[in-house]
Amino acid sequence: MTISLEGKSILIIGGARRIGRAIALECARSGAKVAFTFNTSHDEAQSTLAGLRQLVPTGQFAAYPLNVTDASAWLTLAEDVERDFGSLFGLVFCAAIFKRTPPTTLSVADFDEHIAVNLKGPFLGCHTFGERLEEGGSIVLFSDIYATRPLLNYIPYCTSKAGVEMLCKGFAKALAPRRVRVNCIAPGAILPVEGEENSVEELVARVPLRRLGGVEEVARTAVFLLGGSEFLTGIIIPLEGGQLLR
């Protein structure tokens, strides 16, 4: 099924690298005008912009710096994006941190950092843009299969992602009168943790389909939620190759 986002403006939070970059490219392939944010990944942001412009030379693309935990920065971003792109149709929030925090060394600072980036960030995104999106628009958030199956050494991360799932359902209900849909992707084994690429075999062993998911598969799922159905809202889509069957 070909999904068209022709002429629609999509904002991707954390779109400079990894899954965010793949989503930006897939949105551009679908005809969207793409804005995305980055925090410290300036070089990757420039690379992603170059990739977008090579893919669609006549397209409209832009990158904006953003600290997702700063409420005032979100208001500045909204003004800048609306000035450059007009009204937005879609928001995708895929920025996150994923840090190993064993219970024996877990600190309050570890917990606060994960909640600030992984939960407060999406809240601020929905709060800032929910009423600004075009009627009939779409928000895509990112959870994790471990939002409901906690990992011992990642308690703050899992807790933050569990909160994202409730955030999705809450804003789906709140924004439904404007026909703005809010849905969530819960990936499983897609990419190895940065710096732990030697863990691929271990990850694959946990997946009944015996492979990692591809970032392109995540991106196509995001585009489906943006423009493929106008009657889906408040759902969590596990994208995990059968991991939840184990």
Report the CATH number at residue 16. 3.40.50.720
- Cross-strand pairs, 70: none
Element (H, E) at 168: helix 155-175
What's the mean pLDDT in 141-154? 94
The answer to whether residue 1 sits within a structural domain is no
Q: Is the pLDDT of residue 202 over 90?
A: no
Residues 63 and 221: their CA atoms lie apart, in Å, by 22
Mean pLDDT over the full length of the chain? 94
pLDDT digits (tens, 9 = 90+) for 78-136: 999 999 999 999 999 999 999 999 999 999 999 999 999 999 999 999 999 999 999 99
CA nearest neighbour of 100 among 86, 117, 114, 88: 114
Res. 229 pLDDT band, cuts 50 70 90: confident
CA nearest neighbour of 25 among 236, 227, 218: 218
The answer to whether residue 144 sits within a structural domain is yes
pLDDT of residue 213: 87
pLDDT of residue 216: 94
- Tallying the residues shown for the chain, one arrives at 246
Say which amino acid occupies 192: P
pTM of structure:
0.95
Residues 50 and 198: their CA atoms lie apart, in Å, by 30
pLDDT of residue 99: 94
The answer to whether residue 2 sits within a structural domain is no
Say which amino acid occupies 141: L
The answer to whether residue 108 sits within a structural domain is yes
The answer to whether residue 3 sits within a structural domain is no
The answer to whether residue 4 sits within a structural domain is no
The answer to whether residue 163 sits within a structural domain is yes
Residues 95 and 14: their CA atoms lie apart, in Å, by 4
pLDDT of residue 190: 86
Q: What is the number of structural domains in the chain?
A: 1
Instruction: Evaluate whether 28 touches 52 at the Cβ level (below 8 Å).
Output: yes
CA nearest neighbour of 182 among 93, 109, 69, 70: 93
The fraction of the chain above a pLDDT of 70, given in percent, is 97
What's the mean pLDDT in 133-142? 98
Residues 13 and 32: their CA atoms lie apart, in Å, by 15
Res. 50 pLDDT band, cuts 50 70 90: very high
SS3 197: helix
The answer to whether residue 234 sits within a structural domain is yes
Q: What angle do CA 100, 104, 106 make, to 5 degrees?
A: 50
Q: Is the pLDDT of residue 194 over 70?
A: no
Domain that holds residue 75: 9-245
